[in-house]
Amino acid sequence: MSAASGPEIDVADYRDVWVFVEQHEGEAAPVSWELLAKGRELADETGESLVALVVGDGVSHLAEEAVARGADRALLADDPVFEPYRADPYGEQFRALVEARKPSIVLIGGTHTGRDFAGRVAVPAHAGLTADCTELAVDEAGLLLASRPTFGGSAMATIKCPAHRPQMATVRAGVFDAGEPADGTESAADAVESVEVVVAEEDTLSTVLERVVGGVVDITDADVIVAGGAGCEGDVTPLVELAEALGGEVAATRAAVEEGWVEPARQVGQTGKTVRPHLYVAAGISGAVQHLEGMNGSDVVVAVNTDPNAPIFEHADYGIVGDLHEVLPALTAMVREKRE
Ligand code: FAD
């Protein structure tokens, strides 16, 4: 961004890495802890503090968990006006804190919620906001390097904002490892600062009349994924049945999605979702680099392919050379038998 597109600021006034802890009804979105773990790395590199920002109603436990997970401090804006989520009170509270405290880097999950209000913080601050990032780093000058796929996923763009603050990024869920909270969280409460709530119910522009949850599947939370590719040849029943038996979700390559066999929300890869399940079954999938990019954080990969030379086998913990229409039903039968 050019310095001409906003007021002149002294970037030296801005310090610290902030992570927004997204929550719904008191439960943290997994991306929050993923970003906190990454934020810790960035803060250690820049020599700054890592600050968690927790907004909600009755959410002090999340501020304490953020500290237990590595934040140096947590800022807590706790008030009924923040439940349920609405963009205007969240955006206004966040904007006021950014203006008063001047963070250098602000990381927000690239979820529906994060995307909804991040612009309300970035625009008035004339901040640089890079959306839907899949990689984060800092350069030798401490500037945020925010990378994201571009040109339909055919190239990666790395964006930095030398003249504007804060440097903001929304980040895709599932691209970083969340890690675990440290033991012994007794001192966590001391590192939580309750901040002044700057929004009142009468000032908010919107009222939530009804919340409709569901409809669109979210495979990024799944512990078990059974994914299929072009090798399904139009029949995804073996995937669905194995996923059901294992209590997991069905996913697919772009090839299977483009054929219309599986809905687009279940596509894994560079232009789909990034997933990190405990178990990823890749059936009839060749192992193209764009697909691997979305699933190579899986704990255990089982590949099923008729071609013993398929590249997916190089990325699998267990490989089965065979027809998925025979192998998957056999696995399903075994799982069902064990469960009985
Ligand atoms: P194929 O490569 O055709 O592989 C099918 C495999 O099935 C083969 O290995 C074959 O041996 C095996 N097979 C056939 N029959 C059977 C059977 N009966 N039983 C078992 N195995 C069988 N792809 C993604 O997945 N996600 C993305 O997000 C994505 N983004 C992309 C972005 C860009 C810019 C580009 C250029 C491409 C992208 N792609 C993406 C496409 C990617 O390059 C591959 O084309 C795609 O992943 C291939 O899908 P596939 O493995 O299902 O099909």
Q: Give ipTM to 2 decimals.
A: 0.99
Distance CA 129, CA 136 (A): 13
pLDDT beyond 90 at 319: yes
Measured from the CB, is residue 230 less than 6 Å from ligand 1? yes
Write down the pLDDT at residue 214: 63
Measured from the CB, is residue 238 less than 6 Å from ligand 1? no
Distance CA 176, CA 157 (A): 18
**Cβ(21)–Cβ(54) below 8 Å:** yes
Measured from the CB, is residue 285 less than 6 Å from ligand 1? yes
Ligand 1, atom 36, residue with closest C-alpha: 154
Q: Which two tokens stand for residue 184?
A: 């012994």
Q: Best substitution site from 219, 270, 323, 327 to test ligand 1's pocket, by max atoms within 8 Å of Cβ?
A: 270
- Using one digit for the tens of pLDDT, what is the confidence trace for 11-36? 989 999 999 999 998 999 989 999 99
H/E segment holding residue 90 = helix 87-101
Q: How far is the CA of 308 from the centre of ligand 1 (A)?
A: 15
Write down the pLDDT at residue 91: 94
Distance CA 50, CA 320 (A): 45
Ligand 1, atom 32, residue with closest C-alpha: 153
CB neighbours of residue 45 within 10 Å = 14
pLDDT beyond 80 at 240: yes
Q: pTM value? A: 0.73
Q: How far is the CA of 247 from the centre of ligand 1 (A)?
A: 24
